[in-house]
Structure 1
């Protein structure tokens, strides 16, 4: 009797549920005026925008719609005229539609493409809007640079890049004529956190992969010349994602004499690092604040300040790591169990004051005083116990892919207490004189460096009860490094450069020549580097060439046909 009652209640529930259904089915096929099915057509209810579907490759669609309601169905697709239809369906009724959507002729607005040439030798100008649209794990301006010929990077989480086989620290970076130093880094290849360049504040980007003019420094791989903009009104932006957040604001005050632009950024890679073979608790945190302030005393003189404060922390507690390697004939697997943690802390500070004097339309003088300080710490004690196993390769076995034989066990212990403290002061003067046919640039810079680097790290390895390297009377370490380096040195650099325009019959010829000198008292060595570039612009239609002076003057020349 109990079973019969339960069965009766179940049937009654299903009957009530079926009777309460308040939906219907709309299906059909969509073709063009030639009878060809159209795929990817959007089918949406006007009254319920969240209810919709798309047609398949055969132009067919199926959609569950509310019953006993007057509905408007919208059919839309790019390149076809939008079509609307009305339906009223009873409960569980199936309505079949055959829709014809004629093609639509699209008239695009006129697009004007203009060419602009600049007398920069091998310098290439990049559009900040396009560069910022390139997605990358590291983000920033460097993500766009890595797409250029000759530029490469072996770590997508880092903003570092190499040019034509050079090293990471052989690239020059300038922001508003102030040389920016990459993190010194205790060891090359470590994550340096955020790039110095804040893409929200960038106005222009110039880049050269070698062969640049004498006005740039002595690192020969590449030069990246960034200009932060001077705002003209109030503006701001903000962004938020799983990988971090950023915000910037800019404004003017004191009747336009005072302008400032500032940006704050936060970044973390913890969610990306969590997908690595080495499982553990990743907690990298990168934070920085930048500001660029300008005060215009009068038409001839202005004073600006560029500041940056950055703190990059990297905390890691490893747990396990499992890696499969070898060949089909000899598949191997290793699993490591970790104890310990790593804590890294990188702090950098930069401040630069620039005085710009423009006495007349031809002469510009600039004086720059800057200070940079980096403080880095790297500490870790990580122990790993590993097992090396041979895997079952018989595909018919239930244990396929599992460990079939243990080949060995071992232990390693990594220890480090490293620190670096670096301070750089510099004083520079840059000038430019512009005439009808000549553009003369000159500059001189004094730089004082003080670096204190201490390294204390070692590695212990044990395999099957034997310390490596093996000794029968003592325990040896596999690797030891103890070093203390202190450097206090001075550099003096300077350059003179002339850009000379020569009109020829079928175009214009531009010759840029100059010489640099570099003296470093650490090795008491004087280097002299002459440089020259030749550019020819053939005549045709009018082109606009803009010459950007280091001092900030912009002179425009039109090349006549």
Structure 2
């Protein structure tokens, strides 16, 4: 164990022992906090106004707070979106007083507008108002769209649900739904091939997100955690939604005895309308389907069983016809024209199910037992023949041939062929537990996962420019790239954690200290890792509502299949887990401006990276080196302000400044003068220095049934290198990503409108129009690297032709709840 690890473990021990040095005589007030429908209110604030101490309720609505005075005290109960309530009572020292509280929902009514703020950060975890996603204009239609406007999160692809967090890539983000880990397809190359995200927005009840420094209860990735809880319905209802991009149907209900509940969603999506705006013309036939259900049986107050099931089929068929792309600069304007033959046919089918048993032997203990399985059947097949012309355009102002082809720079052809098939089966057994006493919460968990992967790769590429085949050896007529492999993998992973949280009160100062440790073992490389982690949340009890938090620890990421597959298709059995050491310091400040509530959040972070597996990104495809070749770091500042910029409607803006670098160990090259150059540190593929995210809502003051919703994003360009290059430091940068989407809605029935009168069977109805890419920005997602044998100077050349994202599109949507 290193010196730093010993210090960190000592800190964990001291944090858990801190409460032992603070004891005095006290009484206890405990009970449940519920809404008017009897549902528990999680994370409600309980403040002893007399003694200036406080706590928060658990996920089940339970709270417990210590009092040291015997005379009258005042307890205040509040939660965002509910009317605060104060209770005056007397508690005897050494006795327990039971108090159950019911809070009613608060509404800020501005001409019939009803909106409540529910975004709140609790240390290294942010709780997100998932209801905003219903009106959020998003080309992908995925739940993850709401994350992309948060600080530290970026995604330069409106058609993808993938996102990067603080310098990490798409594969470094943990996603849970009802404590079950969710996986993404292995073979997907581009956002246009992506279908529906696993998360069904209509089924979501609670959202937690951490951009780093998360606790030991969450698993083994190096970037972020998205933790989703699905609804347990308490009434019969249905929802239907349709647009030019697809349709969703949701049905939910409860049994007569209130012990059985179900919620089921069916979604269909087609992106053909969007794809027709790309430079690459042809016949697009994408079809994405998803079925998801969550069933729950409560056999007794102590025992409940739930079932989560998902079936997803994504079919993508494309027969390209012609492509015409203009690029370059004013002084060197170029045009690529490609004529195609052939087609591409991809299938990504996934099946996931989880059976959970939850047992509560007493009010302090929760025991969960989860059995889950994930199956993926993926195929990637294409035969594409292309003949291309690369021309220089006339840029002489006033010329009669302005914009036309002037000189041919290169001519050639290519053939791309693939027959790639992958099957994966993951089976997992897991136990989770929670034990709560007074101001202490102990959590633990252990799981074992068996993985079976069968991968068949047969992929090659031929490029012929001006009649000469371009290959890795110019003396041979051979394929530019050929990968063929046959891999069968059976391995096991075991992991677990132990975590303890203490609430400590020192006068007006309240501290929540959490410490824990995770372990992971992987039999593929016989690797055992220990990951100590901690977090401290401090509320000094000042007049201004401000809190501070500090978190960090060790985060190991045992490689998943793509990370230990070498570029030639073989497996690296000597691969090791990537390691990230997080340190996150932040603050949250609640204030009022213009007589409305606002929240300011600030975080500063540093991540030290070791055993990095370098990679290059092509669209949403990650090309790994398959070896632990580098060390690096990521550091930055995240800032977010949210609140009612317009009375009764929540909006937010975020700002991120970040840099992430890596250094490939022992790399060097020889320059034109014969000198040996060691590149040192250079930007990682996710190094986005500066980004701004925006979500804004507004309405017509005297007619709030008409509303507008706007999302905006600006991010500086990502580094990009030549995919076939062996040099990792040969980088340029893409242009900045700029996008604004706007949606307009008219409510006919519901909280913001009732023009349909008393239609009892219809609870909510609205119609919307969405304008995607309002200002028609030409954003670049990747490059097509065109090779030529000679140019005007009779020199071999390689041109980076930008692959642009979608242009302006208009969507019409209708949504109804019954």
3-state secondary structure, aligned to 1:144: helix
Is contact 2:417-2:461 (8 Å) kept? Answer: yes
2:477 is matched with which residue: 470, 475, 478? Answer: 475
Question: What residue is the counterpart of 2:490 in the other structure?
Answer: 488
Name which structure has the greater RCO, CA cutoff 8 Å, separation 6+.
2
When residues 506 and 141 of structure 1 are mapped into structure 2, their CA distance, relative to the original with a 3 A threshold, is same
Map 1:20-419 onto structure 2 (within 5 A).
Answer: 120-185=122-187, 187=189, 191-419=193-421
Deviations along 1:473-493, one digit per CA (max 9) or x if unpaired, are 863111111122222111111
Unaligned stretches of 5+ in structure 1? 1-105, 546-561
Structure 1 stretch displaced more, 305-314 or 151-160: 151-160
Question: What residue is the counterpart of 1:551 in the other structure?
Answer: none
Compute the displacement of 1:534 (Å). Answer: 0.4
Compute the displacement of 1:328 (Å). Answer: 3.1
Is contact 1:121-1:512 (8 Å) kept? Answer: no
3-state secondary structure, aligned to 1:143: helix
Compute the displacement of 1:325 (Å). Answer: 2.5
| Distance in 2 between residues matched to 1:376 and 1:538, nearest whole Å | 53
The normalised TM-score by structure 1 is 0.74
| Distance in 1 between residues matched to 2:278 and 2:528, nearest whole Å | 48
| Distance in 1 between residues matched to 2:486 and 2:272, nearest whole Å | 33
When residues 524 and 318 of structure 1 are mapped into structure 2, their CA distance, relative to the original with a 3 A threshold, is same
3-state secondary structure, aligned to 2:300: coil
| Distance in 2 between residues matched to 1:206 and 1:506, nearest whole Å | 28
| Distance in 2 between residues matched to 1:182 and 1:308, nearest whole Å | 13
| Distance in 1 between residues matched to 2:367 and 2:164, nearest whole Å | 33
Deviations along 1:158-212, one digit per CA (max 9) or x if unpaired, are 1011111111111111111111112223658773311000000000111000111
Is contact 1:231-1:259 (8 Å) kept? Answer: yes
| Distance in 2 between residues matched to 1:107 and 1:339, nearest whole Å | 59
Question: What residue is the counterpart of 2:429 in the other structure?
Answer: 427
Structure 1 stretch displaced more, 302-311 or 185-194: 185-194
| Distance in 2 between residues matched to 1:514 and 1:210, nearest whole Å | 15
Question: What residue is the counterpart of 1:455 in the other structure?
Answer: 457
Compute the displacement of 1:507 (Å). Answer: 2.5
3-state secondary structure, aligned to 1:183: coil
3-state secondary structure, aligned to 2:362: coil
When residues 472 and 199 of structure 1 are mapped into structure 2, their CA distance, relative to the original with a 3 A threshold, is closer
When residues 115 and 326 of structure 1 are mapped into structure 2, their CA distance, relative to the original with a 3 A threshold, is closer
When residues 256 and 337 of structure 1 are mapped into structure 2, their CA distance, relative to the original with a 3 A threshold, is same
Deviations along 1:43-69, one digit per CA (max 9) or x if unpaired, are xxxxxxxxxxxxxxxxxxxxxxxxxxx
Question: What residue is the counterpart of 2:90 in the other structure?
Answer: none
3-state secondary structure, aligned to 1:276: coil
| Distance in 1 between residues matched to 2:324 and 2:466, nearest whole Å | 19
| Distance in 1 between residues matched to 2:128 and 2:119, nearest whole Å | 12
Deviations along 1:232-284, one digit per CA (max 9) or x if unpaired, are 11111011111111010101114111110000001111111101111111111
1:520 is matched with which residue: 519, 522, 544? Answer: 522
| Distance in 1 between residues matched to 2:431 and 2:288, nearest whole Å | 34
3-state secondary structure, aligned to 2:384: strand
| Distance in 2 between residues matched to 1:382 and 1:244, nearest whole Å | 29
When residues 465 and 361 of structure 1 are mapped into structure 2, their CA distance, relative to the original with a 3 A threshold, is same
Deviations along 1:128-160, one digit per CA (max 9) or x if unpaired, are 111332211112220010111111112110101
State the number of aligned residues: 438
| Distance in 2 between residues matched to 1:464 and 1:522, nearest whole Å | 47
3-state secondary structure, aligned to 1:142: helix
3-state secondary structure, aligned to 1:232: coil
Compute the displacement of 1:515 (Å). Answer: 0.7
Is contact 2:433-2:445 (8 Å) kept? Answer: yes
| Distance in 2 between residues matched to 1:481 and 1:356, nearest whole Å | 47
| Distance in 2 between residues matched to 1:435 and 1:177, nearest whole Å | 23
| Distance in 2 between residues matched to 1:373 and 1:264, nearest whole Å | 19
Is contact 2:159-2:192 (8 Å) kept? Answer: no
| Distance in 1 between residues matched to 2:113 and 2:283, nearest whole Å | 54
| Distance in 2 between residues matched to 1:530 and 1:137, nearest whole Å | 40
3-state secondary structure, aligned to 1:129: helix
3-state secondary structure, aligned to 1:315: strand
Question: What residue is the counterpart of 1:507 in the other structure?
Answer: 509
Deviations along 1:367-398, one digit per CA (max 9) or x if unpaired, are 00000000100000001111122322333332
Compute the displacement of 1:326 (Å). Answer: 3.2
Is contact 2:326-2:333 (8 Å) kept? Answer: yes
The normalised TM-score by structure 2 is 0.51
Is contact 2:446-2:496 (8 Å) kept? Answer: yes
Unaligned stretches of 5+ in structure 2? 1-108, 548-818
| Distance in 2 between residues matched to 1:165 and 1:185, nearest whole Å | 22
Is contact 1:261-1:293 (8 Å) kept? Answer: yes
| Distance in 1 between residues matched to 2:114 and 2:177, nearest whole Å | 33
Is contact 2:118-2:128 (8 Å) kept? Answer: no
Is contact 1:422-1:449 (8 Å) kept? Answer: yes
When residues 115 and 423 of structure 1 are mapped into structure 2, their CA distance, relative to the original with a 3 A threshold, is closer
Question: What residue is the counterpart of 1:536 in the other structure?
Answer: 538
| Distance in 1 between residues matched to 2:438 and 2:170, nearest whole Å | 40
| Distance in 2 between residues matched to 1:376 and 1:428, nearest whole Å | 27
3-state secondary structure, aligned to 1:454: strand
| Distance in 1 between residues matched to 2:490 and 2:530, nearest whole Å | 23
When residues 112 and 313 of structure 1 are mapped into structure 2, their CA distance, relative to the original with a 3 A threshold, is closer
